[in-house]
Amino acid sequence: MFNREENNSVELRMMVLFFTIASLLLAGKLFYLQVFQHDYYQTLAMSTHEIYQKIHPKRGSIFFQDTRTGENYPVAINRQYYQIYAVPKEIEKNEINSTTEKLAELLQLDIEKREIVRAKLAKENDPFESLARKISEETVVKIHEANLKGIYDSAEEYRFYPENDLGGSVLGFCNMDSDGNMQGNYGAEGYWNKVLAGKSGYLFGERGARGSWITLADMTTIEAKDGDSLVLTIDRALQYKACETLKKGLEEYKAQSAALVIMNPQTGAVLAMCSLPGFDPNNYGKVEDIKNYNNETIFTPYEPGSVFKPIVMGMALDLQLVNPDTWFNDPCEMKYGPYTIRNAMKKCYGTITMTNVLENSVNTGMMWVAEKIGQERMLDYVRKYGFGEKTGIELDREIAGNLSNIEKKSQIGPAQASFGQGITVTPIQLAAAYSAIANGGKLIQPRIVDQIKRSDGKMEIIEPKTINQVISARASKLLSAMLTSVVEKTYANSVKMEHYFVAGKTGTAQIPGPKGYSETGETNHTFAGFLPAKNPEVVMVIKYEKPQRLWAEGTAGPIFKEIAKFTMDYYGIPEDR
């Protein structure tokens, strides 16, 4: 006869053994699911029991404008494209080859990409494989018509630039980050990325076994905030004409690169900005050299040469150390320790005025002026003009330039700087400095954003910003008259205009090599000027890198004149001649 107590003990041991084995099997199954099939079941759980949906904000647009009428033109917008993906477990083995060939035909795949697609479709039990992205709606319609089993599409937004390469270096470009957000790079897209991008939103909650929300109160919604839009100061028509003309010169003079800035000297608004070679931000990945992404007007400092002479002359006029008629007796060369500096072509000019010094671009005359100013005062003025630091223009990757040659104690540094050697500047800095000469001596911060259109409908106007008074109004007028004489007497054939007085100066700057300036024989050419000279409406700086011509008067000068004529006609500026 069984003992009840003994019987209960056996049953208890059997139950413990059963639950132990069951627990081990369950643990093993969970380990397999969590480790080996973690990604698959995580995706499955997200779609059935828990939802965590990231809501992407719409990126703000960027506009050029017609600065005469205020009409805006979109130059960076969002456009819907599609991702093509496959669910391989829905595709029969005997359909893999035919599906691959049809997709290769519709997506225009080369042999290598075709085989990659074939391999993806052959993955048994695979729930998802991305096949192609940024596919047009036309192609998607054709894929639908082909009725391919296991092939699907999903809409995605990408950045689109309707004007293609017009202003690529101003705009920059967007790529996609790992979360599927557009990320701005270079130019306005890079500098203003956070403003344009907006803020992402979230929808978080849990669902029951049948897919319904467990409790609506448990849902959390954080709505996305769309990005703000930018209206740039760039004039679309002027940008097109200026960049096309600059490109014509680049090809004719066989230069390596070119840069151009047109600016309103009264407000600092940049009306046109060109950097060549350029790129199409729609196809930024196809550039031959990533240097093309760099905006030459703000990114590449260089020794400006004689275009810097008016900057230094303005200092002496402001300090009343000289006036336009002050006499100078040219010694033909000047020595600084072991260094001897001469005029271009070793010319000697005799007794001349300060205006003649600028007209003939006399190095010795400018060194004499620099000595009168003194190193400390020269350095102070150079900084007040904005050199040696970023202008603050609202574009990504601006470089400050270098003043170290006149910051260290030496005689040769200020002497070289007086005619634009030994220091580096950018075209945008030159445009700001020449604007100060043109507008009565005020340094105005260059700006390229005119308005910010907030996503809530509010409009923010970007006002001009005066940084400081660099030189007096008197010095500004005197220097403007001197630069007008430079154009009238020196550049009569290349820059002088029929209906307007132009004030300006060229710079043909030697490019230093490891062993000095005479080594390479290569030069950078610049023209900086403004018009109408008596009441300036525009300042323009043009630069060519290593053109196959001797002097800037024959390269940057004629290009300035052609663009200036268009600009005056375009804006209907009254003739002053």
Helix/strand/coil (H/E/C) assignment for every residue in 311-371: HHHHHHHHCCCCCCCCEEECCCEEEECCEEEECHHHCCCCEEEHHHHHHCCCHHHHHHHHH
Residues 278, 145 share a domain: no
Number of domains in the chain: 3
Residue 16: pLDDT over 90: no
103 lies in the same domain as 252: no
On whether residue 81 sits in a domain, the answer given is no
270-280 mean pLDDT: 98
Mean local confidence (pLDDT), 53-77: 91
Given 102, 130, 149, the domain boundary residue is 149
Instruction: Please report whether residue 26 resides in a domain.
Output: yes
Q: Are residues 381 and 506 in the same domain?
A: yes
CA-to-CA distance for 382 and 413, rounded, in angstroms? 13
- Segment 549-569, tens digit of pLDDT: 999 999 999 999 999 999 999
Average pLDDT over residues 277-283: 96
Please name the helix (run of DSSP H) or strand (run of DSSP E) that holds residue 537, with its range, or none: none
> pLDDT tier at 35 (50, 70, 90 boundaries)?
very low
pLDDT higher at 240 or 218: 240
Q: Per-residue pLDDT averaged across 212-234, rounded? A: 76
CA distances from 102 to 37, 111, 135, 142, 328 (A): 32, 13, 15, 10, 82
Which of the four pLDDT bands, split at 50, 70 and 90, describes residue 498? very high
135-166 residue pLDDT tens: 999 999 999 999 999 999 988 889 999 999 99
What count of residues does the chain have?
577
Question: How far is the C-alpha of 371 from the C-alpha of 381, rounded, in Å?
Answer: 14
At residue 45 the predicted structure's pLDDT band, cuts being 50, 70 and 90, is: very low
12 and 138 inside one domain: no
Q: Are residues 100 and 22 in the same domain?
A: no
Would you place residue 31 in the very low, low, confident or very high pLDDT band (cuts 50, 70, 90)? low
299, 414: one domain: yes
pLDDT of residue 216: 44
Band (pLDDT 50/70/90 cuts) for residue 43 is: very low
Give the domain CATH number at 513.
3.40.710.10
Same domain, 378 and 501: yes
Cis bond upstream, residue 127 (ω within 30): no
Is 61 inside a domain boundary? no
Strands 270-276 and 257-263: antiparallel
532: Cβ contacts below 8 Å, ≥ 6 apart: 500, 501, 568, 573, 574, 575, 576
Q: 126 and 256 in one domain?
A: no
Q: Dihedral sign, CA of 244, 246, 252, 258? A: negative
Cα angle 542, 441, 468 (rounded to 5 degrees) comes to 105
Residues 476 and 545 in one domain: yes
Residue 28 has a pLDDT of 58
**253 or 203, which is more confident:** 253
Element (H, E) at 531: strand 523-531
Q: What pLDDT was estimated at residue 44?
A: 39
* Confidence tier at 514 by pLDDT (50, 70, 90): confident
Q: Residue 208 falls within a domain, yes or no?
A: no
Instruction: Kindly report the pTM of this predicted structure.
Output: 0.86
Which one has a higher pLDDT value, 200 or 265? 265
pLDDT at 370: 97
Q: Is the pLDDT of residue 510 over 80?
A: yes
Confidence at 519, pLDDT banded by 50, 70, 90: low
In this structure, are 242 and 144 located in the same domain? no
Average pLDDT over residues 40-52: 39
User: Distances in Å between the alpha carbon of 357 and those of 40, 310, 416, 445, 566?
Assistant: 78, 10, 16, 30, 31
Reported confidence tier of residue 33, pLDDT bands at 50, 70, 90: very low
Residue 440, Cβ neighbours under 10 Å: how many?
19
Residue 331 has pLDDT above 70, yes or no: yes
| Radius of gyration of the chain measured on its C-alpha atoms | 34
Residues 282 and 382 in one domain: yes
Distance CA 567, CA 572 (A): 8
392: how many CB neighbours lie within 10 A of its CB?
16
Residue with tokens 């060939």: 101
- The answer to whether 239 and 218 are in contact (CB under 8 A) is no
Instruction: Report the pLDDT averaged over residues 105-130.
Output: 94
Q: Indicate the pLDDT class of residue 178, thresholds 50, 70 and 90.
A: confident
Q: 140 is in which domain, residue-wise?
A: 88-149
DSSP codes of every residue in 374-432: -HHHHHHHHHHTTTTS----SSBT----B-HHHHSS-SHHHHHHTTT-S-BB-HHHHHH
Would you say residue 221 lies in a domain? no
Question: pLDDT grade, residue 51 (50/70/90)?
Answer: very low
CB atoms within 10 A of CB 441: 20
pLDDT at 517 (0 to 100):
75
pLDDT at 378: 98
Asked whether the predicted pLDDT for residue 516 surpasses 80, the reply is no
Tokens, residue 139: 């192609």
What value does the mean pLDDT of the chain take? 90
CA–CA separation, 350 and 340 (whole Å): 18
pLDDT of 543 above 90 = yes
Report whether 559 contacts 249 (CB < 8 A).
Answer: yes
Question: Of residues 1 and 243, which shows the higher confidence score?
Answer: 243
pLDDT over 70, % of the chain: 87
Average pLDDT for 48-69: 76
Closest among 292, 308, 254, 277 to 427, alpha carbons compared: 308
Provide the pLDDT confidence category of residue 252 given band limits of 50, 70 and 90.
very high
pLDDT in tens, 365-411: 999 999 999 999 999 999 999 999 999 999 999 999 999 999 988 88
Is the confidence at residue 194, as pLDDT, over 80? yes
521 pLDDT band (50/70/90 cuts)?
confident
Would you say the C-alpha torsion 164, 231, 180, 58 has a positive or negative sign? negative
How confident is the model at residue 318, as a pLDDT?
98
Residue 304 lies in a domain: yes
Cβ(486)–Cβ(495) under 8 Å?
no
Q: How far is CA 533 from CA 316, 324, 439, 529, 552, in A?
A: 21, 17, 10, 9, 21
Q: Longest Cα pair distance anywhere in the chain, in angstroms?
A: 140
Q: Give mean pLDDT, residues 176-189.
A: 89
| 478 domain residue, yes or no | yes
User: Within a domain: residue 280?
Assistant: yes
Is residue 240 located within the same domain as residue 145? no
